[in-house]
Chains A and B, each alone.
Chain A
Amino acid sequence: MLRIICFLLLLLLPAFSSAYGEEKKGMEEPHIHFESGVVYFDVQTFNQEAYVLKVLGSGSPMTMFWQFEVLQQRHYFFNKSIALIRLGRQVIPDLVTKRWLMRDLSGGVVSYTTDAHEAMRFLTEMDHVAIVDVSVLEPAQDYVLETTFYIYEGEQEETGWWSSLTSWGEDMGSIYFKGPLENVHAQ
């Protein structure tokens, strides 16, 4: 019986891996760029637009937290965390007036939009996010940027730390780069 289970797992694991790979393939690749001594990052979610639009259209607030962590790669030990940034964005719909209030939980900036798609993009896209100052990075050292987002229906508190404990989040993949400016590539 144990042998049969192991055999089935061996058969199923490659299938799961390939399916997971196919799912990730369609994702728009995130990328980082360096400007004025700061590492910036552009990223957007995959396959969340329809869901977000549906939720916002039904009048439910949505909150999204983006977590970026820069790790220094080490060969014989766990990677060392260099920086951990957590950004939150929130949209509160007003169905009566057909307006969507967009709130940046990190900066406190609040704005309205009458376009649901704009509200959706406000949540699902992070453009030109300053991640870390290059002075923190060591030259010619390998780093990895890991991105995770947490999406919630309803209003969350600003940091969302409690929510992060009760949810696994969605892994957006890792970006490997060499400090400070060279050989940036995505995986």
Chain B
Amino acid sequence: MPNNAVESVSKLGFFRWLPFIFVLGLIGVIILVWPSSDHFGPVFLNWINVGLLAVLALGIFIFAIRRLYLPSPQHAGSSLRTKLVTAMVLMVVLPTLILQVTANQVIEKGFDIWFDVRVDTLLDKAMSLAQGFYADIESDMERALDQVADDADFPVEVVSASIGNFVINRHLNTLLNQYGWQKVELFDASERIIAVVQREFQGQSLNDLRTRAVSETGKLSIALGRHTIEDEVRDDGEYVVGYLPLFAQRRLVGLLRAEVKLPSDITASARSIEADYRTYKGLERHRQGIQDVFMHTLMIAMIIIVCIAGLFALFFARKLTSPVEELASALKQVEAGDFDALVPVNSQDELGSLTQSFNSMTSRLKFNMDTLTQTQSELTDALVSSRQRQYVLENLLANLQSGVILLDNAGEIRLMNKACQNLFMLTEEKERKTSIFDFSEVHLKMVLDFFEALQTQELDSLQSELVISYGLQTIKVLARGTILGTQEDIFSGWLLVFDDVTQLADAQKHQAWSEVAQRLAHEIKNPLTPIKLSTERVKRRFRNQVDDVAVFDTCTDAVINQVERLQRLLADFSNLATLPKPKSERVAIVSLLQDMRELYSAYPNLTFEGLPDGDVYCDPDQIRQVLINLIDNALATQTHVRVFVEVNNQDTCFYVQDEGPGIDEEIQRKVFEPYFSTKQGGSGLGLAIAQRITEEHHGQLQLVSASSPTRFCLRLPHVAMHRLKEDEV
């Protein structure tokens, strides 16, 4: 795209300067056709050319300046119109130019033929012939006048003869006949007529006898004292007139005028030759001018033709491109989003069909856009509503304590809330699953089994209690599943809801055991005391009466011992059932363990390590009972037992570790359950009581290591400590 832009800009730059080049060319043509001083013919042809070219150049120059400094926005179709006009004008200009050049050549060749040197020579000769004819007549006249002048008697005769004397007339008649003149007149010194002799000719009238006044040539003849000859053009033809002054004793006595009428046909031919000669010479002299006239006329015609062709081309191009322009303009409006743009259909041709198609397309587009806009609006409203519902749902799910899993038909997990992740201990990113079938890979196979049961049994809903073990932790989960939607709905799948009921179950279990223990204690404890007292009485009263005292003692002691054991057991039961609320106080860790050290000082295999400074908030008697229970269990392994304490930011951990064989997996699950014991004669309530005490302190009692070395951890939180501090403050 940038390359194309650069290319178009460079092309535009060239075409911007093209009109200026054209204007310069026109100025050059104007200079060529500018009228010169040596012009011929109608000079307005040059001026018309100059004017037309100047107007054309000025128009193009203004157009070019506007294009250069006021770049108009590119109208749609303008480029096509420009190309059409240019093509049409070129189609006219090129043949016209060729015609002009050809015509110029033809004219030039024609002039060469016209003004051929042979024609020139012929005309010169004809002209010389005509001139020779006139010159001969004049020469004859001169010769005759010279001969008359040589006659010395004639002037004397003129002086001596009286007016009306026929002698002069006779003499004049002799001269007339001798020299072939048409008319001879004799004037006295005062230029008055003395005698006239005229040859008779056909059609003669009295007016022809009228004597003409002496011309300037005749007066010149008198002044010069010699004959003069002139040519006179009269109505009836041309004459050669000769004047001869007559002198007697050096005194002017008369003036003789002789006329010779030139033959009409010859004079007519001579004058015709003269006219042709004049015309030819004039044309020859203005040969270049005439050629220029032809060229200028042709050029005017060419300019007019080109201008008319340009106007026609512009008209047709406009007519042709206006529908395209309207279409392009409407298309731009449509592109800008205005679908109300309709193009009027002005013709029934292809463009009209195209326009109709465009209008139809625009109408359909408008309808579709309206529909789309309406749908979009509805969708937007629905989306807003959906988002609101989704927001509410997400917040609800996020704040929900129950774990929720939404599954599609393929078992893909569409949604799993935070509580579920925490419940299933899937907090690590790598432990997140995308399908419920991946649960088999981790500790959640029970969940998968529940889901498969829901699937296979085709129940609308299913509820079950699951026990999930993860490491040393075991949780009880109440699972409920239900089918969402059907196959025809936009979404169908399953909704699984999980609730952690571990504490609830434990509480219920404790409650049940407490009730059982109380009932047992109540029901068993009462008969035990009479049994024991009766047995002791029997022993004291009948010991001396029995044969075998040893057997008797053994039996009675056994009864007493078993009753005492039952009483202790019942005491434990009672303790479990009626465990008192802890009386918490600040206790130094060191003092707490120091008591334990003193208590177990007799056990060399028991060591207390890492006794840190610090306090714990607890009931020292109950915590001491827990620690005793843990230490007793550890000592029962008869291995090295370590007791150590770790304090971190959140809680204080008391560890009791032995190096026994460890606890197998089956026992791990039941180790904190009441009445479960692996020791002979154990009540199985020690760890259960210890856990109850720990829970009462908001702590945890955990088996952190089941294998050797076996390690229990009593975790007491600092929260209670902080509360105590706040209370103290």
Complex contact B231–A97 (CB within 8 A):
yes
Chain A's interface size range is: 10 to 19
Complex contact A59–B43 (CB within 8 A):
no
- The answer to the question of B127 belonging to the interface, with a C-beta cut-off of 8 Å to chain A, is yes
User: What are 12 A-B interface contacts by the 8 Å CB criterion?
Assistant: A58-B282, A58-B284, A59-B282, A60-B278, A60-B282, A94-B274, A95-B127, A95-B274, A95-B278, A96-B131, A97-B134, A153-B282
- The answer to the question of A24 belonging to the interface, with a C-beta cut-off of 8 Å to chain B, is no
Task: Tell me which of B17, B270, B285 contacts A55 (CB under 8 A).
Answer: B285
Interface of chain A residues 38 through 80 with chain B (CB within 8 A): 54-55, 58-60
Please, how many angstroms separate the alpha-carbon atoms of A98 and B277 in the complex? 13
Please, how many angstroms separate the alpha-carbon atoms of A166 and B284 in the complex? 23
Interface of chain B residues 252 through 310 with chain A (CB within 8 A): 270-271, 273-274, 277-278, 281-282, 284-285
* Chain A residues within 8 Å of B278, by CB: 58-60, 93, 95
List the A residue with the shortest CB-CB distance to B286: A153
Q: Mark B111-136, 1 if CB is under 8 A from A, else 0.
A: 00000000000000001001100100
Interface of chain A residues 112 through 159 with chain B (CB within 8 A): 112, 153
| Further pairs besides A94-B231, A95-B131, A166-B44: 8, Cβ < 8 Å | A1-B17, A1-B20, A60-B282, A93-B278, A95-B277, A97-B231, A112-B230, A170-B37
Smallest CB separation, A28 vs chain B (Å): 20
List the B residue with the shortest CB-CB distance to A98: B131
* Chain B residues within 8 Å of A166, by CB: 43-44
Complex contact B231–A58 (CB within 8 A):
no
List the B residue with the shortest CB-CB distance to A110: B216
Smallest CB separation, A81 vs chain B (Å): 26
Please, how many angstroms separate the alpha-carbon atoms of A170 and B274 in the complex? 31
* Chain A residues within 8 Å of B230, by CB: 112
Please, how many angstroms separate the alpha-carbon atoms of A60 and B281 in the complex? 8
Please, how many angstroms separate the alpha-carbon atoms of A14 and B471 in the complex? 113
List the B residue with the shortest CB-CB distance to A60: B282
* Chain A residues within 8 Å of B273, by CB: 96
List the A residue with the shortest CB-CB distance to B38: A51
Known A58-B278, A60-B278: A96·B270 in contact at CB below 8 Å = yes
Complex contact A59–B131 (CB within 8 A):
no
Complex contact B134–A96 (CB within 8 A):
yes
List the A residue with the shortest CB-CB distance to B42: A166
Smallest CB separation, B419 vs chain A (Å): 83
Smallest CB separation, A106 vs chain B (Å): 20
Interface of B is mostly: helix
Complex contact A54–B134 (CB within 8 A):
no
Q: Mark A77-119, 1 if CB is under 8 A from B, else 0.
A: 0000000000000000111111100000000000110000000
Q: Mark A149-187, 1 if CB is under 8 A from B, else 0.
A: 000010000000000001100100000000000000000
Smallest CB separation, A88 vs chain B (Å): 20
Interface of chain B residues 214 through 253 with chain A (CB within 8 A): 216, 230-231
Interface of chain B residues 121 through 156 with chain A (CB within 8 A): 127, 130-131, 134
* Chain A residues within 8 Å of B282, by CB: 58-60, 153
* Chain A residues within 8 Å of B131, by CB: 95-98
Task: Tell me which of B20, B44, B216, B271 contacts A96 (CB under 8 A).
Answer: B271
Smallest CB separation, B259 vs chain A (Å): 15
Please, how many angstroms separate the alpha-carbon atoms of A170 and B37 in the complex? 9
Please, how many angstroms separate the alpha-carbon atoms of A25 and B20 in the complex? 39
Smallest CB separation, A115 vs chain B (Å): 14
Smallest CB separation, B534 vs chain A (Å): 143
Please, how many angstroms separate the alpha-carbon atoms of A153 and B38 in the complex? 11
* Chain A residues within 8 Å of B20, by CB: 1
* Chain B residues within 8 Å of A60, by CB: 278, 281-282, 285
Smallest CB separation, B93 vs chain A (Å): 24
* Chain A residues within 8 Å of B134, by CB: 96-97
Please, how many angstroms separate the alpha-carbon atoms of A166 and B39 in the complex? 12
Complex contact A58–B285 (CB within 8 A):
yes
For B44, B127, B285, which residue has the most chain A Cβ atoms within 10 angstroms?
B285
* Chain B residues within 8 Å of A93, by CB: 278
List the A residue with the shortest CB-CB distance to B138: A97
Complex contact A54–B285 (CB within 8 A):
yes
Please, how many angstroms separate the alpha-carbon atoms of A87 and B543 in the complex? 197
Task: Tell me which of A59, A112, A167 contacts B274 (CB under 8 A).
Answer: A59
Smallest CB separation, A102 vs chain B (Å): 13
Please, how many angstroms separate the alpha-carbon atoms of A58 and B37 in the complex? 20
* Chain A residues within 8 Å of B130, by CB: 95-96
List the B residue with the shortest CB-CB distance to A54: B285
* Chain A residues within 8 Å of B274, by CB: 59, 94-96
Please, how many angstroms separate the alpha-carbon atoms of A97 and B271 in the complex? 10
Q: Across the A-B interface, give the 4 residue pairs with the lowest CB-CB distance, nearest first.
A: A58-B281, A59-B278, A97-B231, A95-B274
* Chain B residues within 8 Å of A98, by CB: 131
* Chain B residues within 8 Å of A59, by CB: 274, 277-278, 281-282
Smallest CB separation, A156 vs chain B (Å): 15
Smallest CB separation, A183 vs chain B (Å): 34
For A58, A60, A99, A170, which residue has the most chain B Cβ atoms within 10 angstroms?
A58
Please, how many angstroms separate the alpha-carbon atoms of A166 and B131 in the complex? 37
List the B residue with the shortest CB-CB distance to A166: B43
List the B residue with the shortest CB-CB distance to A59: B278
Please, how many angstroms separate the alpha-carbon atoms of A55 and B216 in the complex? 27
Please, how many angstroms separate the alpha-carbon atoms of A112 and B284 in the complex? 27
* Chain A residues within 8 Å of B17, by CB: 1
Smallest CB separation, A32 vs chain B (Å): 27
Please, how many angstroms separate the alpha-carbon atoms of A155 and B229 in the complex? 27
Interface of chain B residues 586 through 634 with chain A (CB within 8 A): none
* Chain B residues within 8 Å of A112, by CB: 230
* Chain B residues within 8 Å of A54, by CB: 285
Please, how many angstroms separate the alpha-carbon atoms of A98 and B17 in the complex? 62
* Chain A residues within 8 Å of B281, by CB: 58-60
Smallest CB separation, B57 vs chain A (Å): 13
Q: Mark B408-442, 1 if CB is under 8 A from A, else 0.
A: 00000000000000000000000000000000000
Please, how many angstroms separate the alpha-carbon atoms of A54 and B278 in the complex? 11
